[in-house]
Amino acid sequence: MPRSGVPPRVPPVEPELLASAVFLFREYLEQLDAEALPEDEEEEPPIDTRAVLDLFAEELGTNVQTTLTLYLRVTALYRLLTQSPSLAALAIDPEEPDGMLTEDAILAAARLDLHVTRDGAEGAADFDPRQFRDALEP
C-alpha cells in the first residue's frame, strides 16, 4: 500500500503487450471519430475509461493490474504525443503505414517512469517529455 502523500508507482509492461494496447486504443479512437457528429469535429471526443479498460481486458486477456497499467501508459503516451508534435515526429516511424510508433517509442513508453498526479478523486499519469525525448534520440 502506498505511503500517504506518495503517489503509486506505475509498473513497466512488456513492450509487445503495450504495442498491442496502443493498436487497440488507436482503433478505439478511430471508432469514436467515425461516430462523432459533424458539428463535434472541432472537439476531441471524450474517452470512455471503462470502455477502454474493458477492451484491453477482453482483447488482451490481462488481469486488473496489468489492464490499469496499460491504460495509464497508453493514455499518457497519447497525451504526450498530441501535446508535442516534435516528440510525435520522433516517435512515429516514417517508413510504416498509418503512423505506427517506432520500436524505441514503444520501449520508452513501456519502461519509463510515469509521474502520477492526483486532483481530488481524479488522477493522471504522465511521462516526463525530456526523458521520453532522450529515449528516442540517438
What's the pTM value of the predicted model, to 2 decimals? 0.86
Distance CA(69)–CA(55), nearest Å, equals 14
pLDDT averaged per 10 residues, the chain (length 138): 61 96 94 76 79 97 95 94 93 84 95 82 84 89
H/E stretch holding 119: strand 114-119
CB proximity list for 131: less than 8 A, separation 6 or greater: 108, 112, 113
Neighbours of 13 (CB within 10 A): 20
> What phi and psi values does residue 122 have, to the nearest 5 degrees?
-85, 150
Q: What's the pLDDT score for residue 75?
A: 94
Decide: helix, strand or coil at residue 91.
helix
Give 84-87's long-range contacts (Cβ < 8 A, gap of 24+): 84/129, 87/129, 87/132, 87/133, 87/136
Q: What's the pLDDT score for residue 1?
A: 45
